[in-house]
């Protein structure tokens, strides 16, 4: 006897089903509303790009590129015909979206647009890593980038202000904002060499990953979460003590701008970015209740990235929000929003009432209400029971009496209050109720 295989989502992926999908839609809609109020506009990017784009931007030696990307040969290339794959034929599912945004900025000549180019994106990213709480192989990010000719601290501060306003609007209030400055090409190289020299002195006390990073990228050692390395790292030189005068003033300006906006923050000298194109401002937001994987957003300034990818001299700053972890934090906090759900269940009885039911359902939907219209006749008790189980706020009862009188019976399911209304009264009542809920 052949057993049918039961297909399941691949490990590290999952379905986002109702009612959770409504929460996700609200979260993303709030991001759009918040970002657009700061004059950001959405960019929609491809799911996959040339592998070399990520290798150049994220770094070929990083774990993301060397271990975690989903990379494959383009079937339209020579590799599809049996020839060895040319590196230029390899494509990868995007592990992040900043590189794609930079590529689009260059490709479409967006540097010629007036003022700063302010973009945001929403969508899935892909990394082959060990799934754990709040972390998946297909995960979701909401990000924003500002590209232009200025690195004024006010730009950085406004990006952070927008981010923290968004978290406030979605009820993610148990958060901490960390900031730091990692200097620029004039002062960071000397600090990196100093850090490398100090790490060499304690190399034998470090784990294998940190030992390897002493040569490849000593800043990454500061990211270590290994318990026995923490006391060692705490004694290392701090970059804040080695900033040039221009970077010191820029960092002081950022803190003045954050104070002007009433934004609370803590300084974290270990908050670094290991790639050369990152400069000056770095920031991170953590949320309570997520264990060790508590970062819900990371960002920073990357003034050299556009040039690295072949574009014109451009300064930039941006961030990426981990949607999965942010929503998990909101759910675990219990601070869930009251989402609208189903407004009206049309409870029609008798085929004579059906045409009226179809017409009023369309009228209510045109007025912006969510409406459920049963496709077949049911007994009255079954109709009300189904309306209740679907979570409808109202049942709109239409029978022979209502058809004859040209009215409708609107029953509020929460307390069984009901009243007879004509069409205009019905719409006004529902609009008033919606306004009160908002």
Three-class SS of residue 286?
A: strand
Three-class SS of residue 109?
A: coil
Tell me the H-state helices in 38-152.
Answer: 51-54, 63, 98-107
CA angle 133, 325, 166 (to 5 degrees): 170
Q: What pLDDT, on the 0 to 100 scale, is given for residue 435?
A: 66
Residue 61 domain-assigned?
no
Q: Please check whether residues 269 and 281 belong to one and the same domain.
A: yes
Q: What is the mean pLDDT of residues 209-218?
A: 85
Residue 348 domain-assigned?
yes
Q: 58-72, 159-173, 256-270, 356-370: which range is least confident on average?
A: 58-72
Q: What pLDDT, on the 0 to 100 scale, is given for residue 62?
A: 61
| Structure-token match 């990006």, residue found | 159
Find out whether 410 and 418 touch, Cβ atoms under 8 Å.
yes
Find out whether 207 and 229 touch, Cβ atoms under 8 Å.
yes
Indicate the residue among 333, 356, 391 that finishes a domain: 333
Distance (Å, whole) CA 300 – CA 286: 15
Q: Please check whether residues 282 and 151 belong to one and the same domain.
A: yes
Band of residue 89 on the pLDDT scale cut at 50, 70, 90: confident
Short-list 419, 416, 392, CA closest to 408: 419
Q: Please check whether residues 213 and 359 belong to one and the same domain.
A: no
Q: 44-48, 150-154, 230-234, 388-392: which range is least confident on average?
A: 230-234
Distance (Å, whole) CA 17 – CA 290: 22
Burial class (CB in 10 A: 0-12, 13-18, 19+), 330: buried
Q: Please check whether residues 235 and 354 belong to one and the same domain.
A: no
Q: What pLDDT, on the 0 to 100 scale, is given for residue 76?
A: 65
Distance (Å, whole) CA 371 – CA 113: 43
Find out whether 392 and 344 touch, Cβ atoms under 8 Å.
yes
CA angle 273, 277, 279 (to 5 degrees): 65
Find out whether 159 and 144 touch, Cβ atoms under 8 Å.
yes
Whole-model pTM: value is 0.88
In the sheet that 418-421 helps form, which strands lie side by side, from edge to edge? 371-372, 344-348, 394-398, 408-412, 418-421
Residue 15 domain-assigned?
no
Q: In this model, does residue 51 exceed pLDDT 50?
A: yes
Query: Torsion-angle region of residue 101: left (phi > 0), alpha (psi -120 to 50) or beta?
Result: alpha
Q: What is the mean pLDDT of residues 39-59?
A: 91
Q: In this model, does residue 160 exceed pLDDT 90?
A: yes
Q: What pLDDT, on the 0 to 100 scale, is given for residue 79?
A: 47
Q: Please check whether residues 278 and 388 belong to one and the same domain.
A: no
Strands 266-267, 371-372: pairing kind: unpaired
By residue count, the chain amounts to 438
Measured in degrees and rounded to the nearest 5, phi and psi for residue 406 equal 70, 25
Q: Please check whether residues 165 and 213 belong to one and the same domain.
A: no
Tell me the H-state helices in 93-187.
Answer: 98-107, 153-169
Query: Which residue segment(s) compose the domain that 433 sits in?
Result: 344-437
Token pair in block for residue 427: 């719409």
Indicate the residue among 312, 333, 354 that finishes a domain: 333
What is the tens place of the pLDDT at every residue in 400-435? 989 999 999 999 999 999 999 999 999 999 998 876
Residue 63 domain-assigned?
no
Q: Please check whether residues 410 and 357 belong to one and the same domain.
A: yes
Local structure of residue 155 (DSSP, 8 states): H
Element (H, E) at 381: helix 380-389
Q: What is the mean pLDDT of residues 295-320?
A: 94
Q: In this model, does residue 234 exceed pLDDT 60?
A: yes
Q: Please check whether residues 285 and 303 belong to one and the same domain.
A: yes
Q: What pLDDT, on the 0 to 100 scale, is given for residue 2?
A: 61
Find out whether 217 and 120 touch, Cβ atoms under 8 Å.
no
Burial class (CB in 10 A: 0-12, 13-18, 19+), 181: buried
Three-class SS of residue 24?
A: helix
More confident residue, 86 or 202: 202
- CB count within 10 Å of CB 126 equals 21
Find out whether 354 and 338 touch, Cβ atoms under 8 Å.
no
Residue 152 domain-assigned?
yes
Three-class SS of residue 258?
A: helix
Q: What is the mean pLDDT of residues 127-152?
A: 87
Domain count, the chain: 3
Indicate the residue among 314, 333, 352 that finishes a domain: 333
What is the tens place of the pLDDT at every residue in 181-200? 999 989 989 999 999 998 99
Q: Please check whether residues 278 and 173 belong to one and the same domain.
A: yes
Q: Please check whether residues 251 and 313 belong to one and the same domain.
A: yes
Q: Please check whether residues 266 and 410 belong to one and the same domain.
A: no
Q: What is the mean pLDDT of residues 22-28?
A: 95
Residue 58 domain-assigned?
no
Band of residue 274 on the pLDDT scale cut at 50, 70, 90: low
Distance (Å, whole) CA 202 – CA 230: 12
Give me the CATH number covering residue 300: 3.30.930.10
Residue 72 domain-assigned?
no
Q: Please check whether residues 150 and 204 belong to one and the same domain.
A: no
Cα–Cα distances in Å, from 73 out to 77, 103, 164, 270, 399?
A: 7, 20, 41, 38, 63
Residue 14 domain-assigned?
no
More confident residue, 59 or 330: 330
Q: In this model, does residue 130 exceed pLDDT 90?
A: no
Q: What is the mean pLDDT of residues 347-375?
A: 95
């Amino acid at each position: 006897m052949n057993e049918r295989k039961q297909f399941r989502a691949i490990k590290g992926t999952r379905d986002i089903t109702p009612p959770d999908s409504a929460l996700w839609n609200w979260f993303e809609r709030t991001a759009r509303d918040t970002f657009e109020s700061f004059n950001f506009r959405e960019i929609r990017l491809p799911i996959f790009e040339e592998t070399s784009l990520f290798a150049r931007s994220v770094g070929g030696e990083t774990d993301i590129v060397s271990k975690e990307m989903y990379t494959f040969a383009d079937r339209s290339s020579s590799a599809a015909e049996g020839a060895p794959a040319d590196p230029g034929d390899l494509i990868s599912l995007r592990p992040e979206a900043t590189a794609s945004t930079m590529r689009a900025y260059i490709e479409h000549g967006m540097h010629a647009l007036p003022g700063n180019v302010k973009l945001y994106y929403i969508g899935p990213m892909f990394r082959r890593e060990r799934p754990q709480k709040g972390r998946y192989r297909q995960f979701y990010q909401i990000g924003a980038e500002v590209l232009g000719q200025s690195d004024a601290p006010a730009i950085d501060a406004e990006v952070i202000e927008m981010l923290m306003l968004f978290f406030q609007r979605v009820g993610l209030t148990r958060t901490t904002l960390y900031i730091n400055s990692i200097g620029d090409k004039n002062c960071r190289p000397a600090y990196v060499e100093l850090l490398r020299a100090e790490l060499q002195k304690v190399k034998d006390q470090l784990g294998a990953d940190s030992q390897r990073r002493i040569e490849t990228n000593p800043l990454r050692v500061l990211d270590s979460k290994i318990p026995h390395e923490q006391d060692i790292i705490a004694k290392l030189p701090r970059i804040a003590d080695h900033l040039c005068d221009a970077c010191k003033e820029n960092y002081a300006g950022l803190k003045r701008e954050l104070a002007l906006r009433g934004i609370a923050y803590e300084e974290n000298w270990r908050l670094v970015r290991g790639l050369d194109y990152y400069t000056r401002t770095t920031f991170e937001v953590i949320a309570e209740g997520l264990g060790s994987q508590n970062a819900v957003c990371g960002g920073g300034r990357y003034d050299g990235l556009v040039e690295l990818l072949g574009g014109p001299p451009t300064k930039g700053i941006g961030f990426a929000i981990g949607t999965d972890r942010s929503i998990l934090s909101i759910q675990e906090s219990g601070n869930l929003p009251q989402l609208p759900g189903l407004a009206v269940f049309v409870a029609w009885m008798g085929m004579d009432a059906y045409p009226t039911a179809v017409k009023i359902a369309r009228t209510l939907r045109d007025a912006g209400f969510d409406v459920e219209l049963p496709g077949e006749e049911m007994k009255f008790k079954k109709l009300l029971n189904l309306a209740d189980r679907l979570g409808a706020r109202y049942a709109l009862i239409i029978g022979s009496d209502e058809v004859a009188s040209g009215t409708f019976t609107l029953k509020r399911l929460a307390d069984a209050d009901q009243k007879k209304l004509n069409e205009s009264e019905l719409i006004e009542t529902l609009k008033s109720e919606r306004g009160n809920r908002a």
